[in-house]
Amino acid sequence: MDETLTLSLTELTGQLRARKVSPVELMGAVLERIDETNGDLNAFVAMRDREALVADARDCEERIQRGEARPLEGIPLGVKDLEHAEGLPNTEGSLIYKDRISDHDDIHVARLKAAGAIVIGKTNAPEFGHTAVTKNLVYGVTRSPWNLERTPGGSSGGSAAAMAACVCPLVTASDGGGSIRIPASFTGTFGLKPSYGRVPRGPIAHWDYDETSCYGPLTKTVEDAALYLDQVAGPSPYDPKTLPAPGLSYADALGEALPSGLRIGFSPDLGYAVVQADVAAAVEEAVGVFDKLGHRVSPLQSGPPWMGRHWGLLGLFELAARLHEYLPDRESEMGRAFIAGVKTGWEMTPERWRSIGDQRVELNRWCAETFERFDLLITPTVPYDPPPAKGPFPAETEGRPQPVAGVASFTIPFNLSWHPAATLRVGRSQLGLPIGMQIVGPRHREELVLQAALAFQRERPWHPDWPTRWSDGGR
């Protein structure tokens, strides 16, 4: 493997601008790495023409030589297969869309391209992003480079596997209930779900009302995430739910010191999560880093309402509305577990809609009170080790039953509440698999979350420890 691919995004952009690495050489290394790894990982599921990619890389090289380099000039980019990239398939992991080719870029993809990135192909995702295990009937199963028998998570599983295995230096990801943070935690990468509306979505084909899904960075390091966010944040007329421009550079904000004496709330379980013992111990030990840095870490006295079942029904109701025209005639083209879930969307009633709204108000009240007392909140990211590559999720952990959607016990609340939340690697479990810690900030304070994550990264760096070699795991 070309050692250039082990560099972080910010390291690599510096090397490109300094002409120590050429975009053409980088593109060749990425394409060779995909060839080496995809039989095992299945991270990339569709690719652009290779001659066109090399031609694009030459154009970037000429721009660098002229002194006109953009922030991501010549960086290969993998786009998650729930998102549009012009000229590439957009199957959303479903056979009903297996022949669909995008005729446009999603807004954030267009912004990354405008910053100099070169879209090379699509990364795998579960059918319509409905689960945290990445497999589908179109492209099959994606596996973790840490252990090929395990999942890299979902729904951004292909992107996470490609990032952790040093296949591609830049990928897209999205998060409606943990789909950035769960795979980032499972693969030891850094992931940030921004405040709802920070990064524009669309142009959208269907209006949604659950308002939980966000685009955000899934990267090797905190600095990489800030660079990514600087390129994509800001309003778009195609998405009326986007926030105004943040009024700062996230990369510049990382040059400022984390404010001193922060009040940090810590909860090992939010009052309901069932957490694997070694995961709990690793996160509790990692929280001590902030004590060491002079911040005040205190336990939370109460947790938010657990809305896993309601969150699931809300999302499935939206999917049922979107897919009803294909049912029942094309039901056989969809995964059994997926279609069974979609059918529960018909269980939505006015009473249940009201109940979800009432609980979301209660969640918002809890968040408001929590962030009056604390500047940041820390929890584990995922309560247990990654499940098998094909699933299922565990029904219990160490003899204790898991709640509905237990894999997302710590992530779902902050999709529903719209708070920024990041995950970073704090160690490995007894099985040698990465463990993630979640840092949650007040709404619209991505820069504070990033500064806290960077402070931890400097004390406990994980880069460049990446799984670049593996055995076949006995498959």
User: pLDDT tens track of the chain, all 475 residues?
Assistant: 999 999 999 999 999 999 999 999 999 999 999 999 999 999 999 999 999 999 999 999 999 999 999 999 999 999 999 999 999 999 999 999 999 999 999 999 999 999 999 999 999 999 999 999 999 999 999 999 999 999 999 999 999 999 999 999 999 999 999 999 999 999 999 999 999 999 999 998 888 888 999 999 999 999 999 999 999 999 999 999 999 999 999 999 999 999 999 999 999 999 999 999 999 999 999 999 999 999 999 999 999 999 999 999 999 999 999 999 999 999 999 999 999 999 999 999 999 999 999 999 999 999 999 999 999 999 999 999 999 999 999 999 999 999 999 999 999 999 999 999 999 999 999 999 999 999 999 999 999 999 999 999 999 999 999 999 996 543 3
Determine the CATH number of domain 3-236+264-310+337-459: 3.90.1300.10
Q: In which region does residue 234 sit, left (phi positive, over 0), alpha (psi from -120 to 50) or beta (all else)?
A: left
Query: What confidence score (pLDDT) does residue 429 get?
Result: 98
Active site residue: 94, 155, 174, 417, which one?
Answer: 155
HSE at residue 109, side-chain half, CA atoms within 13 A, is 28
DSSP strands (E only) in 151-200:
170-171, 173-175, 190-193
Q: Are strands 400-401 and 396-397 parallel, antiparallel or unpaired?
A: antiparallel
Q: Which two tokens stand for residue 390?
A: 């094909």
Domain ranges within the chain, ordered by starting residue: 3-236+264-310+337-459
Residue 77's SS3 state is strand
Cα dihedral angle (329, 333, 339, 340), rounded to 10 degrees? 90
Residue 48, class by beta-carbon neighbours within 10 Å (0-12 exposed, 13-18 middle, 19+ buried)? Answer: middle
Contact 161, 142 (CB under 8 A): yes
Q: Which two tokens stand for residue 225?
A: 């995430």
390 catalytically annotated: no
Query: What confidence score (pLDDT) does residue 472 get?
Result: 52
Whether the bond between 392 and the residue before it is cis, its omega within 30 degrees of 0, is yes
Active site residue: 144, 159, 179, 213, which one?
Answer: 179
CA distance 120 to 53: 7
Q: For 15-70, write each residue's pLDDT tens digit.
A: 999 999 999 999 999 999 999 999 999 999 999 999 999 999 999 999 999 999 99
Q: For 104-115, write each residue's pLDDT tens digit.
A: 999 999 999 999
CA distance 385 to 280: 11
Query: What confidence score (pLDDT) does residue 335 get?
Result: 95
**Helix H or strand E segment including 214:** strand 214-216
179 catalytically annotated: yes
Identify the bridge partners of residue 435 per DSSP, sorted by sequence position. Answer: 427
Active site residue: 8, 22, 80, 417, which one?
Answer: 80
135 catalytically annotated: no
Amino acid letter, residue 246: P
CA distance 436 to 170: 20
Query: What confidence score (pLDDT) does residue 67 get?
Result: 97
Total-model pTM:
0.98
Closest residue by Cα to residue 434 from 369, 366, 386: 386
Query: What confidence score (pLDDT) does residue 428 get?
Result: 98
